[in-house]
Amino acid sequence: MSVTILGIESSCDDTSAAVIRDEVLLSNVIASQAIHEAYGGVVPELASRAHQQNIIPVVAEAIKRAGIHKNELDAIAFTRGPGLLGSLLVGSSFTKGLALSLDVPMIEVNHLQAHVMAHFIKENPEEKNQPAFPFLCLLVSGGNSQIIKVSAPDRMEVIGQTIDDAAGEAFDKCAKVMGLGYPGGPIVDKLADQGNPKAFVFSKPHIAGYDYSFSGLKTSFLYTLRDHLKDDPDFIEKNKADLCASLQTTIIDILMEKLRKAAKDMQIKEIALAGGVSANSGLRKAFSEHAERYGWNIFIPKFAFTTDNAAMVAISGYYKYQKKEFCPIDAIPFSRVVI
């Protein structure tokens, strides 16, 4: 019997709804919130209000594009956390209302695990390119940088994570001090393409195990700008591309070094990438080079599934539905990282 799941994502500044039937994506609607650009970062209060405005039209559109009637839904999966509490409350409260009215169960989904599960979304029933268990997933976003060992859809272990800033934060904060727009990651990526990655050397952390740190790099980047700006006020403008290329290369080197170590120690060659930073062209290239050099079998998500989206929530919900892992109506969202 086929299973149809509605997924709802509202953890940060994207309101998204998606419908999945038996692993196959029928629709995925995302309303992004441009309002935050003016502030150089997500303003939580504004994000919750925008979710409140967007949620009904976004869900209605997802159901319409899927070509189904809402009575065909078997369950509703929603992001319970981590994320901004006000944003999560909109998605979870809406889910409760709709689940009660349709008399279907609710399924809670961890946002970080959903990013990993994005690799199992099928856009057509024949699609087969999915990682085999166990695999390692490098999850890199604006809020997290983790290496996760995935032994099954419901067995994920964080083996390494950032002890301070996330990789996306490093991109965004360094872009901000250069006066580039927000979010800085994609802008740095574009400019890096024309720059020399060896033009500047920034410090790299020395941390044991598989953990990451990006705060030292941020400071080193700031000091480089400060020192050069003393002699040349136009230093940033003249060296933008080289600064971006050198910064991007350093971030990628830091990420790949620990991932390589984990893959070698655990003898795992199935390696996946997830999260917003996985859109980075340099990181994608580094993955391909590692695949060739170390015989890795790599999995890089489609651009549409790298940033926050409800398709990844729906597929996570689909796997939980098989095990009848439903959540009670009084479940409340959580803001902090739990995996």
Closest CB to ligand KG4 among 67 and 181? 181
Closest CB to ligand KG4 among 167 and 262? 167
Closest CB to ligand KG4 among 54 and 141? 141
Residue 156 beta carbon to ligand KG4: minimum distance, rounded to whole angstroms? 17
For binding to ligand KG4 (CB under 6 A), which residues are involved? 12, 141-143, 168, 171-172, 183-186, 189, 275-277, 279-280, 307-308
Residue 253 beta carbon to ligand KG4: minimum distance, rounded to whole angstroms? 14
For residues 13 and 44, give the distance between their C-alpha atoms in angstroms, rounded to a whole number.
8
| Strand pairing category for 155-161 and 270-274 | unpaired
Residue 230 beta carbon to ligand KG4: minimum distance, rounded to whole angstroms? 29
Closest CB to ligand KG4 among 4 and 250? 250
Residue 125 beta carbon to ligand KG4: minimum distance, rounded to whole angstroms? 28
Closest CB to ligand KG4 among 81 and 105? 81
Sole residue written with tokens 């480089």: 224
For ligand KG4, which residue has the nearest CB? 276
CA nearest 27: which of 39, 15, 19, 36?
19
Residue 182 beta carbon to ligand KG4: minimum distance, rounded to whole angstroms? 8
CA distances from 59 to 70, 127, 193, 263 (A): 10, 26, 38, 40
Residue 171 beta carbon to ligand KG4: minimum distance, rounded to whole angstroms? 5
Residue 159 beta carbon to ligand KG4: minimum distance, rounded to whole angstroms? 20
Residue 143 beta carbon to ligand KG4: minimum distance, rounded to whole angstroms? 4
Closest CB to ligand KG4 among 106 and 174? 174
Closest CB to ligand KG4 among 108 and 189? 189
Closest CB to ligand KG4 among 239 and 280? 280
For residues 325 and 155, give the distance between their C-alpha atoms in angstroms, rounded to a whole number.
14
CA nearest 117: which of 310, 250, 330, 248?
310
